[in-house]
Structure 1
Amino acid sequence: MKRITQFDGLYGEAAAPPDGARPDSEYLFSELLETRSLTFDWVIHPHTHAHLFQLFFVESGGVELSEATQKHQLTGPVVLLIPPTALHGLIYTPDTKGRILTLSDALLESLFPDTSALKPMLGSVQCIQAFEEPYSAQAVGQLIAQIDEELFGEQLEKRAMLHLILQRLFIILYRLQQQNETIQNSPNNLPQRYFRQFRQRVRQVGTTHTITQFADELAITPVHLNRICQAVAGKSASQLVQQHILDEACKYLTYTTYSVSEIAYLLHFEYPNYFAKFFRKHMGVSPTQFREGKPND
């Protein structure tokens, strides 16, 4: 039977760090993910930590996470939360970049006592892969960078500031984790997510995609996409695309000095006359007449 190593300190270090030697100490350490991983040729063998909680922010690259009975192939950005005594091993791709935060369980307890709603999340291995606004992966990374800057700086009230940033970071991760669980465990919420993703892509590509292409990107059928749009907005997918294009066209015509040809280009029409024909069909006037406030001939 293969023996699992338990570290009192960080991976590969026989002794606990001086500040983390006592069970009641508030130990915090920040390091680049690639620094320690490169030392071990990107392979961190399965192990546990006695009194340390770890947060891995994989900004880019890939990692294979091994738990007690499972393996997960993950691609950045992703956040991994590993509580004390949880078995974990990591194999990174050599291009992986990110940062690791290591906290004593005493520090975590002072930030979030047993009565905190976050305790269930902090008590088991978590993998957060979906980042939805306003909590983007970039925002999470910036908070982690702030912790690193504060930890190794010499500003006044460092401890208080670190506590505040850590609490903000973990509350954001809790919200993301709850969103992830809701999406995964509640099929009733999937239509809303598909609808949001569809509307976002419409804003990005306009008329360059067919409804079938939009549906393919969502890994659903065009019929399913139309049902979702009807249920959420009361319109078909095509009607929503048309409405978006018309709304944008009207804004450009009303509030900018772009020519009709320039507006057609901005809205991804292949030719200006295609845009003019589309606009007249749905608005009853040409783009120029609309801009000048003239009625249909």
Structure 2
Amino acid sequence: MRILKFHKTECGVDFLLNVLSSEEVKGNYINSDPYNTDFFEIIVFKKAAGTLLLNHQKITVSDNTVMFISPFQKRQWKLETDGLDFTVLAFQEDFLNDFFADKVFTYRLLYFYQLVYPLNMPETKENIAKYCELLTEIKAELIAKKIDSVHIIRSLLYYLLQKLNRQYSQKNQLPINKSDNRYAFQYKQLLEVHIKEKQRIEDYTELLNISRISLNKAVKTSFNVTATQLLKQRLLFEIKNYLIHSGLNVSEIANELHFSEPNHLMRFFKTQTGMTTGEFLRDYQNGSY
């Protein structure tokens, strides 16, 4: 599968961050071939019609919508070309975490690495215009960099990301995470890194050097699920991706994810979804999942 990588020299910027108009990158969004990237994308659609197949989710793309895509999420666009108008904010995780001097900054944003709630957010025409205005200002500072540009970019970017986070939390009735609840965000970060080989809560309490009770309290406060539930959600997400995209059979997937036996993986999947892996694939291929 094709992987698009962020190269700042090719993008003509000094940061691992860029703002791109639909005219600059339209080819990637009207090409129906599946691919993934090594960077985050926030896509602000003014005009659009079609669908996005993101991992195992089919998402409708329409006018006045914001889309949130995390790195290495498999995607396949099917958009109508007539009238298509959007702006993309693209950046790499390490850059953003360093830019704001917070190693788990991206994990504080509710719309990234989201496993349960929608990855798209309908907005008013007025709010879409405001987001595009902010993105235009950021782009201007990236192109004509001045001695104080880094401070202006940081201010504009922080405001935009947090404004989107507030909107997302309100639309999905989610609490804004407490900024001092680091363990919950570190746990979410560790799940992204280690889910293929670590599937016990004890693995993560050991990495974080905290008790199970402390971890569960932090996760429950921030994400309104238990630490175990979040781990199971992330593991299920990984299994679905393997089933759809890897070409491996269940035994091979079980081996990749360090299940002791394929039956254990199948039992876990059936418990979490109410269907077998075969039923899931059949429904997915028929477009009914």
Q: TM-score, normalised by structure 1?
A: 0.50
Answer yes or no: is the 8 Å Cα contact 1:130–1:180 preserved in 2. Answer: no
Match of 2:150 among 150, 156, 159: 159
Answer yes or no: is the 8 Å Cα contact 2:110–2:168 preserved in 1. Answer: no
Report the equivalent of 2:21.
Answer: 32
Aligned to 2:173, the other structure's residue is in SS state helix
> Is the counterpart of residue 85 in structure 1 residue 84 in structure 2?
no
How far apart are the structure 2 equivalents of 1:136 and 1:120?
19
One-letter code of the match for 2:93? Answer: D
How far apart are the structure 2 equivalents of 1:116 and 1:6?
21
C-alpha spacing 1:164/1:65, structure 2 compared with 1 (3 Å) = same
Report the equivalent of 2:120.
Answer: 127
Match of 1:146 among 133, 137, 143: 137
> Percent identity, aligned pairs only?
13
> Is the counterpart of residue 7 in structure 1 residue 43 in structure 2?
no
How far apart are the structure 2 equivalents of 1:63 and 1:155?
40
Answer yes or no: is the 8 Å Cα contact 1:77–1:129 preserved in 2. Answer: yes
Listed one character per residue, the Cα deviations across residues 107-127 of structure 1 (whole Å, up to 9, x for unaligned) are 221335426773443223721
Deviation, 1:106, is 1.4
Aligned to 2:71, the other structure's residue is in SS state coil
> Is the counterpart of residue 73 in structure 1 residue 73 in structure 2?
no
Answer yes or no: is the 8 Å Cα contact 2:96–2:106 preserved in 1. Answer: no
How far apart are the structure 1 equivalents of 2:68 and 2:106?
17
Length, aligned pairs only: 166
How far apart are the structure 2 equivalents of 1:81 and 1:41?
14
Answer yes or no: is the 8 Å Cα contact 1:60–1:75 preserved in 2. Answer: yes
Answer yes or no: is the 8 Å Cα contact 2:29–2:77 preserved in 1. Answer: no
> Is the counterpart of residue 103 in structure 1 residue 91 in structure 2?
yes
C-alpha spacing 1:17/1:30, structure 2 compared with 1 (3 Å) = same
Aligned to 1:182, the other structure's residue is in SS state coil
Answer yes or no: is the 8 Å Cα contact 1:19–1:26 preserved in 2. Answer: no
Listed one character per residue, the Cα deviations across residues 259-282 of structure 1 (whole Å, up to 9, x for unaligned) are xxxxxxxxxxxxxxxxxxxxxxxx
Answer yes or no: is the 8 Å Cα contact 1:26–1:106 preserved in 2. Answer: no
Answer yes or no: is the 8 Å Cα contact 1:19–1:27 preserved in 2. Answer: no
Report the equivalent of 2:35.
Answer: 47
| Aligned-pair Cα RMSD in Å | 2.8
Listed one character per residue, the Cα deviations across residues 226-273 of structure 1 (whole Å, up to 9, x for unaligned) are xxxxxxxxxxxxxxxxxxxxxxxxxxxxxxxxxxxxxxxxxxxxxxxx
How far apart are the structure 2 equivalents of 1:179 and 1:84?
24
Listed one character per residue, the Cα deviations across residues 65-89 of structure 1 (whole Å, up to 9, x for unaligned) are 1111121122121111111111122
Aligned to 2:66, the other structure's residue is in SS state strand
Report the equivalent of 2:104.
Answer: 114
How far apart are the structure 1 equivalents of 2:154 and 2:32?
29
Aligned to 1:163, the other structure's residue is in SS state helix
C-alpha spacing 1:48/1:30, structure 2 compared with 1 (3 Å) = same
Deviation, 1:19, is 7.8
One-letter code of the match for 2:112? Answer: L
> Is the counterpart of residue 175 in structure 1 residue 175 in structure 2?
no
Report the equivalent of 1:266.
Answer: none
How far apart are the structure 2 equivalents of 1:159 and 1:41?
30
Listed one character per residue, the Cα deviations across residues 204-225 of structure 1 (whole Å, up to 9, x for unaligned) are xxxxxxxxxxxxxxxxxxxxxx
C-alpha spacing 1:175/1:106, structure 2 compared with 1 (3 Å) = same
C-alpha spacing 1:63/1:165, structure 2 compared with 1 (3 Å) = farther
One-letter code of the match for 2:104? Answer: D
Aligned to 2:91, the other structure's residue is in SS state strand
Unpaired runs of 5+ residues, structure 1, are 10-15, 184-297
How far apart are the structure 2 equivalents of 1:167 and 1:160?
11
C-alpha spacing 1:178/1:120, structure 2 compared with 1 (3 Å) = closer
Q: Which has the larger radius of gyration?
A: 1
C-alpha spacing 1:18/1:148, structure 2 compared with 1 (3 Å) = closer
